[in-house]
Structure 1
Amino acid sequence: MMLCPDRPESDLPWGESDTETLLDTFNVQCWSMPAEPKEGDGQAHSVHLPTLSREEKRRRRRATAKYRCAHATRERVRVVSFNRAFSELRKLLPTLPPDKKLSKIEILKLAICYISYLNHVLDV
């Protein structure tokens, strides 16, 4: 149903007092399922489905179990790679004792200090 400026408001569905008729009108117009082919018709009738925005399509795709599982797998691989890089950096830094456990922020701060020290040694 399209709104027409020349159509009186009393003809519009929300002017009706029968709520079942009103709901049926909206269900048929907005959310109806594809019609079954009639005898001898051979084809289904087209149905108007609301178009989804790009963001809504992305949100629906990300809500699937398959997508979440794949995303979790990618995240695990990323974290493992990230931790491996920190352990490699940790092996290059001098500390006493050498096997001392350092947090990631401590590793980064120590790396900055060590690089600064090496630059100073090269300049002298």
Structure 2
Amino acid sequence: MSLPAAAETALHTFSQPISWEQRARLLMTWGEQLAPLSEDERSDTNQVSGCESQVWLVGAPHNGSWQFRAASDARLIRGLLALLLVRVNGLPAAELHSLDLADWFTQLGLARHLSPSRSNGLHAVLKRMAEIAGA
């Protein structure tokens, strides 16, 4: 399965041999690129349960695939969300359900830096995406 162009860019950027401090700064930079959610979108309905940080997620179908937007109160989490979004945006609902999240973050060189709670939170976001998409 081919990757969306933005995911290819992320993979190229994060697969460079850089230190964790550099990766963390890069993550925060990617997080700053997230489109902001409105106050209405930051509702309890759109909040993802299972995350230690506050995370909100909205999604809509677009030409047979899905487009998601997300926000968080935590800078590193925003970066991780940005990397998740570049991987999933444009996928049909069925592919959301079968996405190997651990493999994606391993390819990016970030898996070993994800605490169990962050990893669980990202899985909760992906699960919520599949629910929104009806997968």
Q: Normalized against structure 2, the TM-score is what?
A: 0.19
Structure having the higher strand fraction is 2
> Which of the two has higher C-alpha Rg?
1
* Higher RCO, Cα 8 Å, sep 6+: 2
Structure having the higher helix fraction is 1
